[in-house]
Structure 1
Amino acid sequence: MKQRLVGASGLRVSDLGLGTGTWGVGTDAAEAQVMLRMFRDAGGTLVDSSPAYNGGRAQEVLAAVLADAAVPRHEIVLSSSAGVVPDSPVGRRVDCSRRALMHQLDETLRVLGTDHLDLWSVGYWDERTPPAEVLDTLDWAVRTGRTRYAGVRDYAGWQLAVTASPRVVATQHEYSLLARGIEEELVPAARHLGVGVIAAAPLAQGVLTGRYRSGQATGVRAEVHARLGYKAHTVVDALTTAAEGLDISPAVVALAWARDRAGVASAVVGASHRGQLRELLTVADTALPRAIVKALDDVSR
């Protein structure tokens, strides 16, 4: 696995990140521990977390894994966020005020049993909080040593621009063959500002694993397949065809595509068990031919 710089900063992360979105629900602590060791042994460093994942249970599992010390804390780049509380009533789920962000950061550090994060991000744009206040809070977090670097998540290009600061080194957003919207505004803005892009959900919540290829969906897969639009069917079919020609899985092809897009520092992918992760880690040995990249680009536009 390669190490990449995040934007114009000195932060180095593995080009594949390990997501913890299933931890505490589909993945228990024992399985998570095995997966983290596998990821580390493959050269992975970036571990993505959030107090918003599974009502906080994901971070509790991550804390248990870190406490075991099978993978030393200094060997991973620990990333988390603040500002979003999914369990709150509608209209109050996003709060990026100084008070809320500070409280969530300190609570995250307490839960994880660490004195600092390596990357801490504001989890969502809050139209009720001035950007200057958000920036001041990010600056406070870095100055006090609670985090080494700061970033944002799920920002549009203009939102990143008005929050521009040397403190903001990363922007994390959904990016896949089925979600290329950030190429229009966010990616160019990030490039101009020297901010690195972290691609989230590069497998489009499992759709790009090839399980829902047209004409081959049955049972629960058929229900998911029926909800997908024509474009998604076309992309999945093209992706599966490319994978068959390369003799690798569709998931690895989709992951390699996202990982190697211009401006992307890392692609964060989740796996619920070691078997899935083992397959995805083979992306380290995968370089897509230009013809395949062009074909996927064309069909997914």
Structure 2
Amino acid sequence: MRRQPVVAPSRAGVRPAVEAVLAGQARRRDYGDHMQQRRVGRTGLRVSSIGLGTMTWGRDTEEHDAAEQLKALLDVGGTLVDTAAGYGNGAAEALLGHLLGSGVDRRDVVLASKAGMRGGVADASRRTLLDDLDDSLDRLGTDHLDLWLVEHPDPATPLEETVGALEDAVRSGRTRYVGLSNFPAWKTAQAATLLATAGPGMAAVEMEYSLLQRGVEREMVPAARSLGFGVLAWSPLGRGVLTGKYRATVPASSRAASPHLRGFVEPYLTDRSHGVVEAVMTAANGLGRTPLEVAMAWARDAPGVACAITGARNAGQLRGVLAADDLELPEAIRDVLDEVTAPGLGYPERP
């Protein structure tokens, strides 16, 4: 008999579902002053379980705040810093490069960047990718990246050409590892096969993953497990919605109030999202933690995830995220959050 797709409970049933299993305090992991380091897939690359995103650097986040964020991450043993050639048209990389050149030991940072977007349009041609890589290295003030990713699929460029550029980057020493971001699973698997044949292999994919966006569980996470690449989760806080800040209104200082980021947040300001936020709030209240910490711990420890990457407007916000480092969700709480947010599965993912 064919199994029916999992359907999340209605908004009215979400909070009671969490309350029904909530008991006791969350267990704490003894990391001391050092964040857990994880292998990325079956590679030798290791990254911190929480990483720092720089999408707003050089635009909404100024140098002083960026410097404090980088220090806050490194102070707790965080290593992964994620950027992209297209963030602020290079401004984020330039700011990060300035900070790396101001007393930060390059070996303390796992530096990841992305390429292949020009003016909001995907361009994963060999010329654009390698030009972007050279420009990124110049702005970052380094001779290599630890991880280089193609940011978005380009239907106009053969995948073999895109993969060839990744191979060139590894062979030339300009990056240690390569991967993809925001590609569908079938195309990712094809690229992984091509890269394995060529030699460098695919280390990682960077995908949106949170309690509000679990689509990667249908095919990408199983592909990663089978083919040996790791998953880096971007926007683990559901574009900020899972913090609870939008429960009553849109704060004037929030991304949803920003002219250039409003469209990024609005897709998650829905009744369904509100129900999920209420479930997270209920769990957080019962555990004596913040909803931000609960949402972050869920994404960070989701099967297959090597690192959860989060951006922050200032160091205070980032420290709130890093506070989740010691939180391990009780199994019962994780199970109920899994259940109430489960993506619908059917043919062919679940015959």
The structure showing larger relative contact order (alpha-carbon pairs under 8 Å, at least 6 residues apart) is: 2
Counterparts of residues 1-301 of structure 1 (less than 5 Å): 1-69=35-103, 71-85=104-118, 87=119, 93-164=121-192, 165-166=195-196, 167-213=201-247, 216-217=248-249, 228-301=269-342
> Would you say how many aligned residue pairs link Structure 1 and Structure 2?
293
1-structure distance, mates of 2:180, 2:37: 21
**Is the CA contact (8 Å cut-off) linking 1:175 and 1:258 kept in structure 2?**
yes
Q: Per-residue deviation at 1:228? A: 2.2
Higher Cα radius of gyration: 2
**Is the CA contact (8 Å cut-off) linking 1:21 and 1:53 kept in structure 2?**
yes
CA deviation string 1:45-86 (max 9, x = no partner): 0000001112221112111111112x211110000011012x
1-structure distance, mates of 2:88, 2:339: 36
Q: TM-score, normalised by structure 1?
A: 0.93
Secondary structure of 1:68's aligned partner: coil
Q: Per-residue deviation at 1:218? A: 6.4
1-structure distance, mates of 2:222, 2:299: 16
1-structure distance, mates of 2:340, 2:268: 19
Q: Which amino acid aligns with 1:162?
A: Q
2-structure distance, mates of 1:263, 1:277: 24
2-structure distance, mates of 1:241, 1:134: 45
1-structure distance, mates of 2:203, 2:133: 18
Q: Per-residue deviation at 1:26? A: 2.1
Q: Which amino acid aligns with 1:81?
A: K
Secondary structure of 1:187's aligned partner: helix
Identity %: 48
**Is the CA contact (8 Å cut-off) linking 1:212 and 1:236 kept in structure 2?**
no
**Is the CA contact (8 Å cut-off) linking 1:208 and 1:254 kept in structure 2?**
yes
Quickly say closer, same or farther: Cα 1:225–1:64, change in 2 above 3 A: closer
Q: Per-residue deviation at 1:38? A: 1.3
